[in-house]
Amino acid sequence: MTTKSTIPQEKILAAAEVMFASKRFHEVLMEDIAIGAGVGKGTIYRYFKNKEELYAALLKDASTELMKLIENAVKAEVSCKNKLIVILETSINLFDARPHLFDLILHAEAFQRTSVEFPWQETRWNVIQLVESLFILAEDQKEFFIQNPKESALLLLGGLRAIIRFGNKPRQKQLCNDIVDHFLNGFSKSLPLAT
Amino acid sequence: MTTKSTIPQEKILAAAEVMFASKRFHEVLMEDIAIGAGVGKGTIYRYFKNKEELYAALLKDASTELMKLIENAVKAEVSCKNKLIVILETSINLFDARPHLFDLILHAEAFQRTSVEFPWQETRWNVIQLVESLFILAEDQKEFFIQNPKESALLLLGGLRAIIRFGNKPRQKQLCNDIVDHFLNGFSKSLPLAT
Q: Does the distance separating the beta carbons of B107 and A110 come in below 8 Å?
A: yes
Q: What is the pLDDT of residue A82?
A: 98
Cα distance between residue A151 and residue A170, in whole Å: 29
For range B108-134, the mean pLDDT: 81
Cβ–Cβ of A188/B146 closer than 8 Å?
Answer: yes
Asked if pLDDT for residue A111 goes beyond 90, the answer is no
| Best CATH choice for the domain B58-185 from the list 2.160.10.10, 1.25.40.80, 1.10.357.10, 1.10.3720.10 | 1.10.357.10
Q: Of B61, B48, B166, whose CA–CA distance to B105 is shortest?
A: B61
Of A154, A162, A194, the CB nearest to B166: A154
**A29-51 as b/e: b if 16+ CB within 10 A:** ebeebbebbebeeebbeebbeeb
Q: How many CB atoms lie within 10 A of CB A153?
A: 24
**Which residues in chain B touch residue A179, judged by CB atoms under 8 angstroms apart?**
151, 155
* Residues of chain A with C-beta less than 8 angstroms from the C-beta of B148: 178
pLDDT at residue B18 is higher than 50: yes
The whole-number average pLDDT for the span B34-49 is 94
CB B132 within 8 A of CB B154: no
Which CATH class name applies to A59-185? mainly alpha
* Nearest partner of B193 among B122, B123, B128, B144, judged by Cα: B144
**Residues in contact with A63: Cβ distance below 8 Å, sequence separation at least 6, in sequence order:** A119, A120, A122, A123
Average pLDDT score over residue span B80-101: 96
Give the model's pLDDT for residue A52. Answer: 85
Percent helix, strand and coil across chain A, each to the nearest 5: 70, 0, 30
- DSSP secondary structure letter of residue A171: P
Percent of chain B with pLDDT over 70: 90
Instruction: Give the integer Cα–Cα distance in Å for B56 and B44.
Output: 14
Q: What is the pLDDT of residue B26?
A: 80
Report whether pLDDT(B172) > 50. yes
Q: How close B36 gets to chain A, by Cα (Å)?
A: 20
A12 CA to chain B: closest CA distance, Å? 22
- Kindly determine whether residue A186 and residue B183, on different chains, have CB atoms separated by under 8 Å: yes
Check whether A115 has a pLDDT greater than 70: no
- Chain B 64-103, residues with CB within 8 Å of chain A CB atoms: 103
- If we measure between CA atoms, which residue out of B24, B112, B105 comes closest to residue A115? B24
Touching check for B4 and chain A: CB below 8 Å? no
Distance CA(A141)–CA(B84), nearest Å, equals 33
Helix B149-166 and helix A149-166, axial crossing angle in degrees, nearest 10: 130
Q: Give the mean model confidence (pLDDT) for residues A87-104.
A: 94
DSSP A122-152: HHHHHHHHHHHHHHHHHHHTTS--BS-HHHH
Closest Cβ–Cβ partner in B150, B167, B191 for A185: B191
| CB contact (8 A) between residue A144 and residue B189 | yes
ipTM here: 0.89
**How does DSSP assign B3-65, residue by residue?**
TT--SHHHHHHHHHHHHHHHS-GGG--HHHHHHHHTS-HHHHHHH-SSHHHHHHHHHHHHHHH
List chain A domain ranges: 1-48, 59-185
Q: Is A179 on the interface with B (CB under 8 A)?
A: yes
Q: What is the pLDDT of residues A132-155, one digit of tens each?
A: 999 999 999 999 999 999 999 999
Three-state secondary-structure class, residue B146: strand
pLDDT at residue A195 greater than cutoff 60? no
- Closest-CA distance of chain B to residue A31, Å: 21
- Least confident residue range of A68-72, A173-177, B81-85, B188-192: B188-192
CATH, domain range B1-48? 1.10.10.60
- How far is residue B152's CA from residue B139's CA, in Å, rounded to a whole number? 14
Distance between alpha carbon B30 and the CA centroid of its chain, in Å?
25
Residue B15 near residue B2 (C-beta atoms within 8 A)? no
**Which H or E run contains B69?**
helix B51-75
User: Would you say the pTM of this structure is higher than 0.80?
Assistant: yes
Q: Quick one: pLDDT at residue A29?
A: 94
CB-nearest to B154 from A146, A148, A163 is A163
pLDDT digits (tens, 9 = 90+) for B42-89: 999 999 999 888 988 888 999 999 999 999 999 999 999 999 999 999
